[in-house]
Amino acid sequence: MTQQLSDEELYKLAKERVQDKKDFFSHLASYCIVNGALVLLWKFGTGGGYPWFIWPLGGWGIGIAFHFVNVFVLVGQQGGWERREIAKEMERLRREQEE
């Protein structure tokens, strides 16, 4: 059974998703800038040699991949549990107030 959301709830959900996308692209931009600088530092600062920049590039890249999956692949799936728990907690608090 799916619950119909009000326009206010839809707006709030859409705003959260847009913020998630903005956060991802900000994360991606930081990744590109910092790792680009590390590659340049390796190439021109040390004259080549062992490509040590692959370690931060790869490690951070794994984090970027997880962030991408969370924002674009699992969109809307992880929020269901949280919304259900909030609804249960609100109902519990309402019952406590009535007592």
Encode the chain (99 residues) as per-residue pLDDT tens digits.
Answer: 456 777 888 888 889 889 999 999 999 999 999 999 999 999 998 877 899 999 999 999 999 999 999 999 987 676 667 777 887 888 888 888 887
Whether 2 is in a domain gets the answer: no
Whether 10 is in a domain gets the answer: no
Tokens of 47: 């004259």
Whether 65 is in a domain gets the answer: yes
Whether 77 is in a domain gets the answer: yes
Q: According to the model, what pLDDT value does residue 1 have? A: 40
Whether 86 is in a domain gets the answer: yes
Q: Which domain does 84 fall in, by range? A: 19-98
Whether 83 is in a domain gets the answer: yes
The three-state secondary structure class of 52 is: coil
The total of other beta-carbon atoms located within 10 Å of residue 28's CB is 13
Whether 72 is in a domain gets the answer: yes
